[in-house]
A and B are shown apart, each in its own frame.
Chain A
Amino acid sequence: MRWLHNELDILCKENKLRKAYVSQEGQDSITHMIEYVGELKLNLFELAILEKDLIGMALEAEHSGQSLASRIGDEKEFCDNLPHGNRKAQMGEMLFFHLKNALGAGAIIYAMLYCFNGFQAKMEFSVSYLVFVLCWWLFCSVSEVVINSVCWDKKRRSHLSFAVFAIILAIWLLLSWNTSNPYGVLGETCTFYTYGFLPMTILALIWVTMRLLFNAYIHKQAKGCNWQN
Chain B
Amino acid sequence: MYDQAQLMRGTLEGCILKVISLETTYGYEIAAKLQQYGFSEIKEGTLYPLLVRLEKKQMITSTFCPSPLGPSRKYYSLTLEGKQLLKEFEVCWKEIAKVVNTILEEETK
Contact = CB atoms under 8 A, between A and B. Distances in A.
A72 B45 contact: yes
A78 B28 CA distance: 15
Interface in A55-86: 55-57, 59-60, 63-64, 70-74, 77-78, 81-83
By secondary structure, the B interface counts as mixed
A223 to B, nearest CB: 14
B52 A63 contact: no
B72 interface: yes
A83 B71 contact: no
B43 interface: yes
Contacts of A71: 28, 43-45
B21 interface: no
- Interface size on A, as a range, is 20 to 34
A55 B46 CA distance: 17
A229 interface: yes
Interface string A35-64: 000000000000000000101110110011
Interface string B56-76: 100001111111011111100
A81 B49 contact: yes
Nearest to A57: B44
A59 B71 contact: yes
A57 B27 contact: yes
Given A71-B43, A73-B43, A83-B56, A56 B74 contact: yes
A53 B76 CA distance: 13
Nearest to B68: A63
Contact of B48 (A18, A72, A228): A72
Interface string A78-117: 1001110000000000000000000000000000000000
Nearest to B44: A71
Interface of B: 27-28, 43-46, 48-49, 52-53, 56, 61-67, 69-74
29 contacts: A18-B71, A21-B71, A53-B74, A55-B71, A57-B27, A59-B69, A60-B28, A60-B69, A60-B71, A63-B71, A64-B69, A70-B43, A71-B43, A71-B44, A71-B45, A72-B44, A73-B45, A74-B45, A77-B45, A81-B46, A82-B48, A82-B52, A83-B49, A83-B52, A83-B53, A226-B61, A229-B65, A229-B66, A229-B72
